[in-house]
Amino acid sequence: MKVGDYRLELVRPDGRPFHQLRDTEGNFYVVAVPGDAFNVQLSRSSASSSTRHPKKGNVPVHLAYLKVDGRDVGIKKKFSRGSQTLTFLGFLSHGDLNTTTYESFVFAKPAVSEDDNQTSPDSQTGRITVQVYQGISAGRRHSDYCAVASSTSQPLRSIPSLPDGKKFFLAPSLTTTGGQVTHGSGFSSEKYVKDPSHPQAVASLTLRYETPTTLLLRKILSPSNPAHVKVLDAFEETRSQSLPHQQGNMNANVKEEPHEVINLLQPNVQDASEDWECDLTREEDPRWRKLPKRTDYVTL
């Protein structure tokens, strides 16, 4: 998805993007299944006029803050030049000026809780949100600076159990948990914070994510949409849902020869020199059908 100069997308660890689509209300969805690992990429294609033509010593810095399922991932990223791509590798476990350690992002099936207090129309489960703010320098970090996450393991996000009669596919079908340990570069020695003189976010982007089955049941994915068929075919759990559409296309390409229909009750309609057949399985009056004339007879 793209907002202004900023583009947010999820990619696999090898760089391949996930399928992404937009519903009729303008919400953007990533299609995934439990077990898929991913990185979050935020790109800026250009910059504001003040960044394109900076005054010496006065280059605006923008800071990106990421939340997954409403949880802060523990690290912010800095845009320091015009066109740039930032990659979030996972939930921060530990970091210093030399290296950082993360638990990679992995899609998982959410746990179900009986706690009714978790029921909220504003639930952040199944959402990835990035906000970009203008930042300023706040001095330099000491050489022994170290950041440690409050929890070294990301638990499964819980969702409330739905009341009887509630359609199950309206609940989030995925959450994000911590996966394999991965490493990144160390923190910058210079510290940056939000600029208090610019409290409003420069950009705010939200991606939702669900399984293909859930999006199909919500009618966000449609087997009648050729672009959606490609998405459905990419997942084993929904591959069969695209077959009726494909069969319809195949049938549309088959040209059926017209047949003359003859009423059996009408006399003197048959010609002995022609071939006819009658369907006697019809619940209605039987009808004759004239067969195409054959030309492959052998004369003896």
pLDDT higher than threshold 70 for residue 118: no
pLDDT tens digit sequence for 204-242: 999 999 999 999 999 999 999 999 999 999 999 888 775
pLDDT-derived band of residue 291, with 50, 70 and 90 as boundaries? Answer: confident
Identify residue 7 by its one-letter amino acid code.
R
pLDDT tens digit sequence for 76-99: 999 987 789 999 999 999 999 999
User: Packing angle between helix 226-233 and helix 243-252, nearest 10 degrees?
Assistant: 130
Q: Is residue 46 left, alpha or beta, with left meaning phi > 0 and alpha meaning psi from -120 to 50?
A: beta
Identify residue 135 by its one-letter amino acid code.
G
pLDDT-derived band of residue 195, with 50, 70 and 90 as boundaries? Answer: very high
Q: What tokens appear for 146 in the block? A: 């170290």
pLDDT-derived band of residue 290, with 50, 70 and 90 as boundaries? Answer: confident
The gap from C-alpha 118 to its chain's centroid, in whole angstroms, comes to: 24
pLDDT tens digit sequence for 10-36: 999 999 999 999 999 999 999 999 999
Q: Which of 62, 63, 45, 44 is nearest to 54 (CA)?
A: 62
Q: What tokens appear for 277 in the block? A: 């057949």
Q: Which of 197, 234, 236, 232 is nearest to 217 (CA)?
A: 232
